[in-house]
Amino acid sequence: MTKEENQLEQLTEIREMMSRSSKFISLSGFSGIWVGSMALIGLAAIFYNYPNYFYLRYMYNNIAYPDYMMGGIELLGFLRFVIIDAALVLFFALFGAIAFTNNKSKKQGLSLWNDTAKRFLVSLMVPLIAGGAFILISMYHGLFGIAGPLTLIFYGLALFYAGRYSLIEIRYLGLLEIVLGLLAAIFVGYTAIFWGIGFGLLHIVYGVVMYFKYDRS
């Protein structure tokens, strides 16, 4: 090995060390696939139990104008089911994502809970908590129709913001989620479809890309 080659190798090692210290790189491709799969299963459960709510604009009309379209008890049952379904999806999605990410961290010889991971988590949670509070306030004022698109928009903002401390693909995913949220706000009656694409298919595609680009080696 020549002197120039040795210096180049040392510079490459230094750059990798700096990247490891400044970015949260332990996110697993399997985590994305798992999260997307959980989201699709949760959405399928709502489809199965309340099929009428997903007949395009019928869903929006029922939620936006419950006094005219349906009884309050039926709407309450639907909302209760959606909340429980979403909570279960969130629990299993986080459990699997943490498990896969922890496994990748061990293989890389890195600590899962380090300063970079803390910065990533804080940057992710601030927009999510603020967005969640805003969505609940909107629903309190009867603005149910816009709640779905807002979940995609705030989730995308959280990913884009936290992506500063992780891989660039996270920011791309965030931008796509924001675009889907804006489209869902225009075509409100198709929110369920945009949810399936944003929380389901995009995560699966992201996970596959991450696996072949970073994990397989």
CA–CA–CA angle 215, 176, 213 (5° rounding): 15
- 186 occurs within a structural domain: yes
- 14 occurs within a structural domain: no
d(CA 150, CA 81): 20
> What pLDDT does 99 receive?
84
Q: Domain total for the chain?
A: 1
d(CA 132, CA 183): 19
- 12 occurs within a structural domain: no
Over the range 87-98, which residues count as b (16 or more CB within 10 Å of their CB) and which as e? eebeebbeebbe
d(CA 194, CA 162): 22
Phi, psi of 49 (to 5 degrees): -85, -30
- 138 occurs within a structural domain: yes
> What pLDDT does 53 receive?
61
> What pLDDT does 201 receive?
94
- 11 occurs within a structural domain: no
- 7 occurs within a structural domain: no
Torsion of CA 188, 193, 197, 199, to 10 degrees: 80
- 4 occurs within a structural domain: no
Query: By the 8 A CB rule, do 212 and 29 touch?
Result: yes
Q: Give the list of residues 6+ apart from residue 126 with CB closer than 8 angstroms, or none.
A: 158, 161
- 1 occurs within a structural domain: no
> What pLDDT does 74 receive?
67
d(CA 88, CA 71): 26
pLDDT tens over the chain, length 217 residues? 565 545 455 444 444 444 444 455 557 788 889 999 999 999 898 888 877 665 444 444 444 444 434 445 566 777 788 888 888 998 998 888 888 877 877 776 666 667 777 888 888 889 999 998 998 898 788 777 788 899 999 999 999 988 888 788 889 999 999 999 999 988 877 888 898 999 999 999 998 988 888 776 6
- Domain interval for residue 137: 25-215
